[in-house]
């Protein structure tokens, strides 16, 4: 396998592009175009340097990637649309990484873009009759998991609010984040916001933001400069395993969760352990998922997450900074754009370009992108 570098990344501002209340209106193809041009610009590449494209989205309809590319140029290259729910864009990134690593192409562009529906996001993997019974509300599963977590470990509702406080604080320092300079709510304000799926409140759930993200992967030879080179140390995927705890109906079999297996596979592929990570991005659309992520990825012991959060362990200047760009709660979660946005943040952090949210001496970063199914992609970048 060949070494694979990240040549550049690009992001739109994550926002609501619906043209209402003084906000700008943009279609998904404009957002995709903007992210692609930003990534090309960063890498110093021309559009004609791109040999293949993987485009990721969940709600934009058949072959939507081509709408973005039709705004840039038709160069006859293979274009593949990737849909994998909330994990779509890191799935696309993984395919691009593999094709460069095995020598099929030298330069591939991946783009993720989405304009997100309003309201509760449903789970398309649930059969229609169960959806008619209201059983497709993913946030309610998370509401149930809070109760279980508080029964099993030393945690209180304030702990689940504190995740949102930290991610909102980080988002204040990221001009691309949905909640950039939108204040830092207190634990009390978060708990007092309207309840959506008890005990989860509005501010414990990710906002419905739109946006796009892009990245270019290539062989090191193709880079314009190898100064501060960032390479892909691992890009792995796991899916549901009978008896894993996300599928709570299974009583007899106990298997590691899709997150835990994804983490194990990534550490093995990268030849590192959780103690080597300088910065981590986790996929936490609801605050309780943050603790599932950091514990399954072995950043701490089971049940330790809330106490470490109180101590600032996951803060930008903490032992293992998590969600430095604002995370899913502060950046927002434009479904098909989230996975590459996480990779973009790792890339900026490893290159020392994060300004007020920069993690000191960042060398290795891990991004975790999850989707219904369940599925989980874990990507490790290193300097």
Stretch that binds another protein, among 120-128, 156-164, 310-318, 330-338 (CB under 8 A): 120-128
The distance of closest approach from Cβ of residue 217 to another protein in the complex, given in angstroms and rounded to an integer, is 34
Here's the x/- map for another protein, 228-267, by CB under 8 A: it reads as --------------xx----xxxxxx--------------
Q: Which is nearer to another protein, 200 or 354 (CB)?
A: 200
CA distances for 372 relative to 46, 123, 253, angstroms? 36, 7, 21
Taking the complex as a whole, the smallest distance from the CB of residue 111 to another protein amounts, in Å, to: 25
Q: How many residues bind another protein (CB under 8 A)?
A: 39
Piece of the chain touching another protein by CB under 8 A; list 85-93, 118-126, 165-173, 370-378: 118-126
Please, are residues 110 and 340 in contact by the beta-carbon 8 Å criterion?
yes
Please, what is the minimum distance in Å from the beta carbon of residue 135 to another protein?
Answer: 6
Question: To the nearest whole angstrom, how small is the minimum distance from the Cβ of residue 145 to another protein?
Answer: 7
Taking the least distance from each CB to another protein, the nearer of 179 and 286 is: 286
Helix axes 88-101, 338-350, angle to 10 degrees: 60
Q: Is 104 in the site for another protein (CB under 8 A)?
A: no
Closest CA to 210 of 284, 116, 283, 285: 116
Residue 1 Cβ, how far from another protein at the closest point, in Å? 32
Pick the stretch among 123-131, 304-312, 328-336, 357-365 that binds another protein (CB under 8 A): 123-131
Site for another protein in 124-163 (CB under 8 A): 127-129, 131-137, 139-141, 143-145, 147-148, 151
Transcribe 329-355 into DSSP letters: HHH---GGGHHHHHHHHHHHHHTT--G
- Report strand pairing: 375-382 vs 107-114: unpaired
Ranges within 38-57 binding another protein (CB under 8 A):
none
Residue pair 209/178 in contact (Cβ under 8 Å)? The answer is: yes
Q: Which is nearer to another protein, 80 or 140 (CB)?
A: 140
Six-digit token string for 58: 């969940």
Among residue numbers 173 through 212, which ones bind another protein (CB under 8 A)? 194-200
Which string of DSSP letters, residue by residue, matches 117-184?
PSSPPB-TTS-HHHHHTTTTBHHHHHHHHHHHHHHHSS--HHHHHHHHHHHHHHHTT-TTSTTTTS--
User: Could you count the other beta carbons within 10 Å of the beta carbon of residue 265?
Assistant: 17
Q: At its nearest, how many Å lie between another protein and the CB of residue 288?
A: 11
| Tokens matching residue 6 | 């990240």
Does 226 contact another protein by CB under 8 A? no
Query: Six-digit token pair at 215?
Result: 């990245």
CB closer to another protein out of 41 and 152: 152
- Residues in touch with another protein (CB under 8 A): 117, 119-122, 127-129, 131-137, 139-141, 143-145, 147-148, 151, 194-200, 242-243, 248-253
């Amino acid at each position: 396998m060949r070494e694979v570098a990240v040549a550049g990344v690009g992001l739109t501002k994550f926002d609501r592009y619906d043209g209402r209340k003084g906000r700008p209106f943009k279609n998904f193809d404009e957002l995709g175009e903007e992210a692609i041009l930003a990534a090309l610009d960063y890498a110093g590449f021309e559009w004609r340097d791109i040999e293949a494209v993987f485009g990721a989205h969940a709600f934009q309809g058949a072959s939507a990637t081509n709408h973005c590319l039709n705004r840039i140029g038709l160069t006859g290259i293979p274009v593949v649309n990737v849909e994998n729910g909330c994990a779509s864009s890191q799935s696309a990134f993984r395919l691009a990484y593999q094709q460069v690593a095995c020598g099929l192409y030298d330069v591939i562009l991946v783009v993720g873009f989405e304009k997100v529906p309003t309201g509760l996001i449903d789970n398309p993997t649930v059969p229609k009759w169960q959806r008619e019974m209201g059983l497709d509300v993913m946030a309610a599963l998370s509401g149930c998991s809070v109760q279980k977590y508080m029964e099993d470990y030393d945690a209180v509702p304030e702990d689940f609010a504190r995740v949102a406080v930290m991610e909102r604080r980080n988002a204040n320092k990221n001009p691309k984040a949905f909640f950039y300079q939108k204040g830092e709510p207190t634990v009390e304000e978060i708990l007092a916001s309207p309840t959506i799926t008890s005990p989860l409140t509005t501010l414990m759930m990710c906002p419905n933001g739109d946006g796009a993200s892009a990245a270019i992967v290539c062989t090191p030879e193709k880079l314009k400069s190898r100064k501060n080179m960032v390479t892909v140390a691992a890009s792995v995927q796991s899916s549901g395993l009978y008896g894993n705890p996300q599928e709570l109906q299974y009583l007899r079999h106990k298997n590691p969760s899709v997150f835990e297996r994804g983490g194990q596979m990534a550490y093995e592929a990268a030849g590192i352990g959780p103690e080597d990570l300088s910065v981590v991005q986790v996929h936490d659309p609801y605050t309780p998922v943050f603790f599932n992520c950091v514990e399954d990825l072995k950043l701490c012991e089971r049940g330790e997450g809330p106490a470490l959060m109180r101590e600032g362990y996951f803060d930008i200047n903490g032992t293992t900074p998590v969600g430095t760009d604002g995370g899913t709660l502060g950046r927002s979660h434009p479904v098909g754009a989230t996975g590459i946005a996480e990779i973009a943040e790792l890339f900026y952090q490893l290159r020392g370009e994060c300004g007020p949210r920069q993690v000191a001496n960042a060398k290795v970063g891990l991004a975790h992108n999850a989707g219904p199914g369940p599925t989980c992609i874990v990507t490790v970048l290193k300097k």
